[in-house]
Amino acid sequence: MIKQTFNNYKSAILNDKGEEAVNYVDSRTLKYYADILEVIKHADSSVINASSLIDKVTVLSVRHRATREEILSMDGTGLFVYAIKKGMVGKNSVMNNTIGDIKIDNGFAKGQLLVSGQPTEIYMHFYKEQDHWKIDLTSIFPIGNAAFKDMVEEDGRPENEFIFMILEYLTGKKPGLGIWQPLL
């Protein structure tokens, strides 16, 4: 059932089906998206700059891509769906991945991430919620954050300049300084 949850999530991501993918993520993941939506709406540049790299990229990316009206109409689940539909939850994050060995302890499980069939040191966390296994995407955020930091270091530009360069590359439009300002 855990492997099926991951495979269903993977299929939804690969097919840009955010409304379907949301069925396979846990309450921790949806709480993260609700919390980050509050940052998107209310935070100024000092709060954003003090955030983790993955949070900073998420906040600035949503502010860059979405209209004010779109953002204000979202809840955490809506933001998660939006992120998938806009490719912010990358297909390359799941494309060649499967779950290998699984360890279960009551309502918690961790499954070893296999990339192209090869085991990694990464374990995805799953929680049983309402009799269904759900993925805790927040369990891999530290790994994503470290990978982002490595990319920034390798690039050599200052962190914010790197983020702006990525946003322009992904969207085809240069981010304005307004994305540092709160919406409310």
The 10s digit of each residue's pLDDT in 43-71 is: 999 999 999 999 999 999 999 999 999 99
Residues forming a β-bridge with 102: 111
CA angle 171–175–180, rounded 5-degree value = 130
Structural domain that includes position 67 = 2-157+164-180
Q: How many domains does the chain have?
A: 1
Q: Give pLDDT, residue 92.
A: 72
SS3 label, residue 118:
strand
Q: Give pLDDT, residue 90.
A: 67
Output phi, psi for 167, to 5 deg: -60, -40
Beta strands in 33-162 (DSSP E): 97-105, 108-115, 118-129, 132-136
Residues forming a β-bridge with 126: 109, 135
| pTM of the predicted protein model | 0.91
pLDDT per position as a tens digit, 9-24: 999 998 888 899 999 9
